[in-house]
């Protein structure tokens, strides 16, 4: 299959039929969390606008369908991963259970669950639960010999010891939601182009920490293209799959800027 390309298609079809078996070193999957439709609607609020941020058709499934879908794409990812490959799955409490269950059912070994502490998380308007400030990224491996660039991750850790040297990278990563110049915007409305664009720093740590230059990185749920963008920037080959044409086009545009 042609590398360094965006596939505007369903990921399961591409994973099953087009990608060479055992060719991928690293997968970052940021799948539907199945949380849409339950958000708090506050359109046009003077305190910041519409808080029902994720309300997308691709993010709504019945529970049984969601379990089967998760299992299907996780199984398909395993087929294309190298024997020493790693998979990272982004999740929140909405889809963490299904993600862990599918990884276990498919024989993956979970190595860490990274907690993303969102330093600019959205306010809790209901005041009926604790304010949600975290998402998670599950790291799992297919077999032995996985890549773990300990020193690179240590260098990337902003936390330092008293003597000025970097601390070991821990499993809690504090960084803001994607904002400012990094956030892709619709040219006509100036609204965020994609509702769940991940921060580049998150992908930088994962790609530099768990793959080497020249390795193949795959993202089955491309979105705004953060994974292929960072992969290309740091000399990795990439395959990104995105079902929605407007997002696939946005990825092409984003990549053309490197
Ligand atoms: C959570 S978002 C990914 C965001 C991405 N990580 C970023 O930084 O922009 C999930 C994306 O997967 C796409 N998607 C959903 N189901 C899909 C499927 N079956 N195959 C391919 N893409 C799919 C959606 O259109 C959406 O853009």
For 67-93, the pLDDT digits (tens) are 999 999 999 999 999 999 999 999 999
Report the separation in Å between the CA atom of 161 and the middle of ligand 1, taken as the mean of its atom positions.
38
User: Is residue 172 classed as helix, strand or coil in its secondary structure?
Assistant: strand
If you average pLDDT over every residue of the chain, what do you get? Answer: 92
Report the separation in Å between the CA atom of 18 and the middle of ligand 1, taken as the mean of its atom positions.
18
- Identify the residue with better confidence: 54 or 111: 111
Please name which of 86, 72, 55 lies closest in space to residue 13, comparing C-alpha atoms.
Answer: 72
Among the residues of 23-147, which ranges form H helices? Answer: 63-80, 96-105
**Entry field: residues in the chain:** 258
CATH architecture of 5-255: 3-Layer(aba) Sandwich (3.40)
State the Cα–Cα distance between residues 77 and 95, nearest whole angstrom. 17
pLDDT-based confidence at residue 101 (cuts at 50, 70, 90): very high
Q: What is residue 192's predicted lDDT score, i.e. its pLDDT?
A: 93
Report the separation in Å between the CA atom of 27 and the middle of ligand 1, taken as the mean of its atom positions.
14
User: Is residue 32 classed as helix, strand or coil in its secondary structure?
Assistant: coil
The pLDDT of residue 225 is above 90: yes
User: Could you tell which of 27, 58, 200, 227 is best to mutate to test the pocket of ligand 1, judged by most ligand atoms within 8 Å of the CB?
Assistant: 58
How far, CA to CA in Å, does 122 sit from each of 50, 51, 126, 180, 215?
A: 11, 8, 12, 15, 36
Query: If you take atom 27 of ligand 1, which residue's CA is the nearest one?
Result: 223
User: Is residue 97 classed as helix, strand or coil in its secondary structure?
Assistant: helix
Q: Which atom of ligand 1 is nearest to the CA of 244?
A: 25
Q: Over the stretch 234-249, which tens digit does the pLDDT of each residue have? A: 999 999 999 999 999 9
pLDDT-based confidence at residue 197 (cuts at 50, 70, 90): very high
The rounded percent of the chain whose pLDDT value lies above 70 is 92
Q: If you average pLDDT over residues 164-191, what whole number do you get? A: 95
Q: What is residue 40's predicted lDDT score, i.e. its pLDDT?
A: 46
How far, CA to CA in Å, does 85 sit from each of 79, 100, 103, 146?
A: 11, 17, 14, 6
Q: Which atom of ligand 1 is nearest to the CA of 224?
A: 9
Q: Hey, what are 170's tokens?
A: 């821990």
Report the separation in Å between the CA atom of 221 and the middle of ligand 1, taken as the mean of its atom positions.
4
Q: Over the stretch 7-59, which tens digit does the pLDDT of each residue have? A: 999 999 999 999 999 999 999 999 999 886 655 444 444 433 444 456 677 77
State the Cα–Cα distance between residues 60 and 37, nearest whole angstrom. 7
DSSP 81-95: EEEEEEEEEEE-TTT
Q: Which atom of ligand 1 is nearest to the CA of 73?
A: 19
Ligand 1 pocket at CB < 6 A: 10-11, 30, 32, 58, 194, 196-198, 221, 223-224, 226, 241-244, 247
The rounded percent of the chain whose pLDDT value lies above 90 is 83
Q: What is residue 92's predicted lDDT score, i.e. its pLDDT?
A: 96
Q: What are the domain boundaries of the chain? A: 5-255
pLDDT-based confidence at residue 124 (cuts at 50, 70, 90): confident
Q: Which atom of ligand 1 is nearest to the CA of 221?
A: 12
The pLDDT of residue 125 is above 90: no
The pLDDT of residue 111 is above 90: yes
């Amino acid at each position: 299959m042609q590398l360094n390309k965006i596939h505007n298609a369903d990921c399961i079809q591409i994973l099953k039929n087009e990608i060479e078996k055992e060719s991928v070193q690293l997968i970052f999957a940021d799948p539907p969390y199945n949380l849409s439709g339950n958000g708090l609607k506050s359109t046009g609020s003077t305190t910041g606008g519409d808080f029902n941020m994720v309300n997308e058709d691709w993010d709504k499934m019945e529970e049984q369908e969601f379990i089967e879908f998760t299992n299907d794409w996780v199984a398909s990812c395993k087929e294309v991963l190298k024997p020493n490959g790693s998979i990272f799955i982004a999740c929140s409490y909405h889809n963490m259970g299904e993600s862990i269950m599918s990884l276990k059912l498919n024989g993956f070994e979970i190595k860490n669950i990274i907690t993303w502490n969102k330093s600019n998380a959205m306010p809790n308007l209901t005041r009926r639960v604790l304010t949600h400030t975290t998402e998670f990224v599950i790291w799992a491996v297919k077999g032995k010999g996985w890549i773990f660039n300990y020193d690179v991750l240590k260098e990337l850790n902003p936390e330092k010891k008293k003597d000025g040297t970097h601390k070991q990278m821990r499993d809690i990563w504090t960084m803001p939601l994607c904002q400012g110049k990094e956030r892709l915007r619709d040219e006509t409305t100036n609204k965020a182009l994609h509702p769940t664009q991940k921060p580049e720093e998150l992908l930088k740590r994962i790609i530099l920490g768990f793959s080497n230059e020249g390795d193949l990185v795959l993202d089955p749920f491309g979105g705004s293209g953060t994974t292929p963008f960072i992969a290309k920037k740091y000399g990795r080959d990439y395959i990104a799959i995105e079902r929605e044409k407007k997002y696939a086009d946005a990825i092409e545009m984003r990549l053309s800027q490197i």
